[in-house]
Chain A
């Protein structure tokens, strides 16, 4: 799990506290965040008396039971998709082989397996050298039914634009991303993203070629405001509901290993000192969602349910996502979500919940254990 390496204690070395996007973040201190759930469980369980040493319950079992993932009440592994990623080394109508130069893995393809590389195509049309995200059939270890090749995503504020290229700032801790949009794709993208001028927000999916994203699909209708002129959010007031429904998206992180299950959450507590909070010009509690999001920490468990597939999973918060706070948009995949982005999932989490990467989002419900 690629979590930040530093402590989440206020005000100190905040630059690398909670953000996977921070340069230099390592996986060394993952268990630090994992330990939070153990300590939390310890506080809320009956305390052993001074004489009941043997009665102290094993905290591991508590944490494990509380953390048990569910997919509609049954074992998660029976329903949840898994992913394999790597570079395609060989492809045929029935098999795909991927590797990383050191090892290789061969997967069988189902009869109705499909692929995507900018557009739907037959798996056999993929070529060796493509970077593939492969979805494994639940309960199977070596059978794949979906392949995304060279897929990428850029989400942020447009810094510069001309007729073919956009420069997009995703966050303060990553260099701006270049997005190339062909004239043909531009016509299609402009339907959903009418403002390709600097200052406006953009969320675009496409194909990565030599480190540059060739934009093809605009996931959601573009917010009508500039990223630096956010409209005031209506105060909903009252007690927060136990379940919050909104738009869940996935993020394309070059530094994040594929396969990590986790979620970036827009309202990681300000005291955690997320590196990008200041750059986002919007406080964690002020996300442009239809209602406020409660504060959580890195390591908190979120129960996420895909309202389209009804697959649910308990995921840890692995980072903050200031960019998601800027977007007050609907997800129109499957069901139209209420306004606002409430979760920014890793690729593996998005696929595990039944999401289609090229759609970019799904309508999700978050439940937070109180």
Chain B
């Protein structure tokens, strides 16, 4: 059984690598920008993004082809082991890169499959990369792969492949993007989601439980939407000063991604989370937030200082 499991990994890993390379190349050809939306390249300085993207794509292609070529008796010892080791290391590095990307640019997709990977990186994306790293490293000592010896073995191979595809599908946010692309599902930018739905979704998340103790009021001071995100700001207090606790809720039907920040009302600085509230507040009563406007009485920064671009009066009378 373990041998059969190993046999499935090589073609699967090769298909994923070559598929990732192809979709990246298609995106580059379409956008005519090498570094456009290729996920972890966002971690690099602007000048390095294009070469890094090209190198990543080339490595994926070489490893994908190498896995297929060395899956049989050709290069069955050292070359096959090296390529599988390289594949494992690639996915391992990718896993850490995704962790870093989620921390630094939580709004950016992993870019693993070009245009299909624009959903922000989640734990599932990272888990998929880690799983593939384990799968690749586990095949290092695998014997050459051949056709199944019997019908029963073939069926078993097929079942394992299907099971693994299901697991990968569960871990892949790209599935939704594929459905959007074929017109089966509306893009999130066009999805009509009420503010009440977003609030209800927010209240079910760990982020809410973790930070709701910071709320000075259950009434949001502002709710607005841009593209696939709903932003909900609440009045808060930090070290005796007025602050705003802002949540960004991704407009998804189930388990939406939620990001949050604590912002000083007067200066606009991002504040560190108080250590006492960084634990999940288990057992806290869920507040019933009403979607009502709150009236701001405190002064707010000037429009341009607050980041609104080009909002200015020309010298008219």
* Chain A residues with CB below 8 A from B313, complex form: 1, 257, 259-260
In the complex, what distance in Å separates the CA atom of A63 from the CA atom of B307? 4
Q: A266 contacts the other chain (Cβ, under 8 Å)?
A: no
Residue interface mask B250-274, A partner, CB < 8 A = 1: 0000000001110100011111111
Q: B162 contacts the other chain (Cβ, under 8 Å)?
A: no
| Further contacts, 11 of them, CB under 8 A, given A9-B195, A12-B293, A272-B225 | A7-B295, A8-B224, A39-B244, A44-B106, A56-B270, A59-B267, A59-B269, A86-B317, A238-B182, A259-B313, A301-B309
Which one, B181, B271, B311, contacts A30 given CB within 8 A? Answer: B311
Residue interface mask A25-37, B partner, CB < 8 A = 1: 0000111111111
Contact A295-B225, Cβ < 8 Å, known A1-B303, A38-B306, A69-B310: yes
* Chain B residues with CB below 8 A from A311, complex form: none
Within 120-162 of A, Cβ neighbours of B (below 8 Å) are at 136, 141
In the complex, what distance in Å separates the CA atom of A56 from the CA atom of B238? 14
* Chain A residues with CB below 8 A from B317, complex form: 84-87, 98-100, 102-103, 105
Surface stretch bound by B, among A179-187, A192-200, A312-320, A354-362: A312-320
In the complex, what distance in Å separates the CA atom of A42 from the CA atom of B269? 8
In the complex, what distance in Å separates the CA atom of A141 from the CA atom of B315? 9
In the complex, which residue of chain B has the Cβ closest to the Cβ of A54?
B272
User: What are 18 A-B pairs at a CB distance below 8 A?
Assistant: A8-B222, A8-B223, A13-B293, A32-B222, A34-B304, A35-B301, A44-B106, A50-B274, A58-B268, A69-B309, A85-B317, A87-B317, A141-B315, A261-B310, A272-B224, A294-B227, A295-B190, A296-B225
Residue interface mask A287-310, B partner, CB < 8 A = 1: 000001011111111000000000
In the A-B complex, the 9 residue pairs with the closest CB atoms: A63-B307, A67-B309, A237-B183, A294-B189, A7-B293, A34-B308, A100-B317, A297-B224, A34-B303
Q: B150 contacts the other chain (Cβ, under 8 Å)?
A: no
* Chain B residues with CB below 8 A from A46, complex form: 103-104
Q: Once the chains bind, are A35 and B300 in contact (CB under 8 Å)? A: yes
In the complex, which residue of chain B has the Cβ closest to the Cβ of A76?
B310
In the complex, what distance in Å separates the CA atom of A45 from the CA atom of B271? 12
Residue interface mask B203-223, A partner, CB < 8 A = 1: 000000000000000001011
Q: A368 contacts the other chain (Cβ, under 8 Å)?
A: yes
Q: Once the chains bind, are B246 and A43 in contact (CB under 8 Å)? A: yes
How many chain B residues touch A (Cβ–Cβ < 8 Å)?
72
Q: B192 contacts the other chain (Cβ, under 8 Å)?
A: yes
* Chain B residues with CB below 8 A from A49, complex form: 272-273
* Chain A residues with CB below 8 A from B293, complex form: 6-7, 9, 12-13
Q: Once the chains bind, are A43 and B278 in contact (CB under 8 Å)? A: no
* Chain B residues with CB below 8 A from A299, complex form: 224, 308
Interface residues of B (CB under 8 A from A): 31, 103-107, 115, 118, 177, 180-183, 187, 189-190, 192, 194-196, 220, 222-228, 231, 233, 244, 246-248, 259-261, 263, 267-275, 278, 291-296, 300-317
Within 334-370 of A, Cβ neighbours of B (below 8 Å) are at 348, 368, 370
CB distance from B162 to the nearest CB of A (A): 28
Q: Once the chains bind, are A239 and B224 in contact (CB under 8 Å)? A: no
Q: Once the chains bind, are A58 and B269 in contact (CB under 8 Å)? A: yes
CB distance from A299 to the nearest CB of B (A): 7
In the complex, which residue of chain B has the Cβ closest to the Cβ of A9?
B293
Q: Once the chains bind, are B314 and A348 in contact (CB under 8 Å)? A: yes
Q: Of B224, B233, B268, B300, which is in contact with the most chain A CB atoms at under 10 Å from its CB?
A: B224
* Chain B residues with CB below 8 A from A224, complex form: none
In the complex, what distance in Å separates the CA atom of A285 from the CA atom of B193? 12
CB distance from A29 to the nearest CB of B (A): 8
Q: How large is the interface on A (under 10, 10 to 19, 20 to 34, 35 or more residues)?
A: 35 or more
* Chain A residues with CB below 8 A from B190, complex form: 240, 285, 292, 294-295
Q: Once the chains bind, are B226 and A40 in contact (CB under 8 Å)? A: yes
Q: A176 contacts the other chain (Cβ, under 8 Å)?
A: no
Q: Once the chains bind, are B271 and A56 in contact (CB under 8 Å)? A: yes
* Chain A residues with CB below 8 A from B106, complex form: 43-44
* Chain B residues with CB below 8 A from A100, complex form: 317
Q: A93 contacts the other chain (Cβ, under 8 Å)?
A: no
Q: Once the chains bind, are B231 and A38 in contact (CB under 8 Å)? A: no
* Chain A residues with CB below 8 A from B302, complex form: 31, 34
* Chain A residues with CB below 8 A from B222, complex form: 7-9, 32, 35-36, 39
* Chain A residues with CB below 8 A from B301, complex form: 31, 34-35, 38, 60
Q: A212 contacts the other chain (Cβ, under 8 Å)?
A: no
In the complex, which residue of chain B has the Cβ closest to the Cβ of A296?
B226
* Chain A residues with CB below 8 A from B261, complex form: 39, 42-43, 45, 47
In the complex, which residue of chain A has the Cβ closest to the Cβ of B274?
A50
Which one, B182, B189, B259, contacts A295 given CB within 8 A? Answer: B189
In the complex, which residue of chain A has the Cβ closest to the Cβ of B245?
A39
Within 243-290 of A, Cβ neighbours of B (below 8 Å) are at 257-262, 269-272, 285
Q: Of B115, B192, B306, which is in contact with the most chain A CB atoms at under 10 Å from its CB?
A: B306
CB distance from A150 to the nearest CB of B (A): 16
* Chain A residues with CB below 8 A from B247, complex form: 43
CB distance from A320 to the nearest CB of B (A): 13
In the complex, which residue of chain A has the Cβ closest to the Cβ of B311?
A1
